[in-house]
Amino acid sequence: MSREDLPPLVEKQDFRNAMSRLGAAVNIITTEGPAGRAGFTASAVCSVTDSPPTLLVCLNRSASVYPVFRENMQLCVNTLASGHEALSTLFGGKTPMPERFIAAEWTTAITGSPILQGAVASFDCRISQIVSVGTHDTLFCEVLALVRNDDTHGLMWFDRGYHPLLRQEAC
Ligand SMILES: NC(=O)c1ccc[n+]([C@@H]2O[C@H](COP(=O)([O-])OP(=O)(O)OC[C@H]3O[C@@H](n4cnc5c(N)ncnc54)[C@H](O)[C@@H]3O)[C@@H](O)[C@H]2O)c1
Ligand SMILES: Cc1cc2c(cc1C)N(C[C@H](O)[C@H](O)[C@H](O)COP(=O)(O)O)c1[nH]c(=O)[nH]c(=O)c1N2
């Protein structure tokens, strides 16, 4: 009998309660392509390697946006700034897609994905690899272009709430 056939050693709720103690940046992940335009809020984003520049995004396969990202195979990771709390909630809920996008200003990345104006950073990517684990797909994303904003403060998701993250003044 393999470990997968046995009940979990840690309950899902205990795992989530512990994970709520890991502060994370908040991002709006966007895509536009043959399957249309979509976007969702994600905290499960991290750097994988700088050679080639690659980050990962974990996406729940039950999300309404999932088939759009799977077909387009390109996306932009827009890392949110303080002041983006309401926008994050809009992209993290059950709001229809046009209502999500109308709430902010966007430009177009080289992949065609929407770039959020005022984001701390935007990473325009092509999805290079996908690994499924449990309920989620891990999207490995090669970064093709970048936008960086040095004038905004950051935003953290910690203990189930938003917290502004102040930048030190540039030396
Ligand atoms: N990785 C994710 O899919 C993820 C991450 C954060 C929040 N969310 C979703 O946002 C909503 C609010 O989250 P919250 O932080 O207020 O409370 P919560 O109790 O749902 O989650 C606490 C923490 O557990 C982790 N988590 C939550 N759902 C997860 C999932 N399905 N798979 C893997 N990790 C998960 C995240 O780190 C999250 O911050 C929930 O619906 C949650 O499912 C999903
Ligand atoms: C702060 C925060 C952080 C996350 C999320 C939510 C919030 C509020 N959500 C949930 C995700 O945004 C939500 O399921 C999508 O908006 C898809 O919802 P629909 O299925 O389109 O309504 C989310 N989902 C996911 O697949 N991976 C993630 O890393 C996160 N992180």
Query: What's the complex ipTM?
Result: 0.98
Whole-model pTM: value is 0.96
pLDDT of residue 171: 42
pLDDT in tens, the chain (171 residues): 677 788 889 999 999 999 999 999 999 999 999 999 999 999 999 999 999 999 999 999 999 999 999 999 999 999 999 999 999 999 998 899 999 999 999 999 999 999 999 999 999 999 999 999 999 999 999 999 999 999 999 999 999 999 999 988 754
77 C-alpha to ligand 2 centroid (Å)? 13
pLDDT of residue 2: 72
What CATH code is assigned to 25-157? 2.30.110.10
Distance CA 53, CA 123 (A): 10
pLDDT of residue 168: 83
Distance CA 80, CA 73 (A): 22
> For 84-90, which contacts have Cβ atoms below 8 Å and span 24 or more sequence positions?
84/26, 84/28, 84/116, 84/118, 84/119, 84/155, 85/155, 85/162, 87/28, 87/116, 88/26, 88/28, 88/41, 88/155, 88/162, 89/41
Ligand 2: which of 19, 43, 135 to mutate, judged by most atoms within 8 Å of the beta carbon? 43
**What ranges do the domains of the chain cover?**
25-157
Residue 20 Cβ inside 6 Å of ligand 1? The answer reads: yes
Ligand 1: which of 10, 16, 21, 162 to mutate, judged by most atoms within 8 Å of the beta carbon? 16
Q: What is the 3-state secondary structure (H, E, C) of the chain?
A: CCHHHCCCCCCHHHHHHHHCCCCEECEEEEEEECCEEEEEEECCEEEEEECCEEEEEEEECCCCCHHHHHHHCEEEEEECECCCHHHHHHHCCCCCHHHHHHCCCEEECCCCCEEECCCCEEEEEEEEEEEEECCEEEEEEEEEEEEECCCCCEEEEECCEEEEECCCCCC
Report the pocket of ligand 2 as residue ranges, CB < 6 Å.
26, 40-44, 58-60, 63-65, 88, 91-92, 94, 157
78 C-alpha to ligand 1 centroid (Å)? 19
29 C-alpha to ligand 2 centroid (Å)? 10
Give the number of whichever ligand sits closest to the CA of residue 67: 2
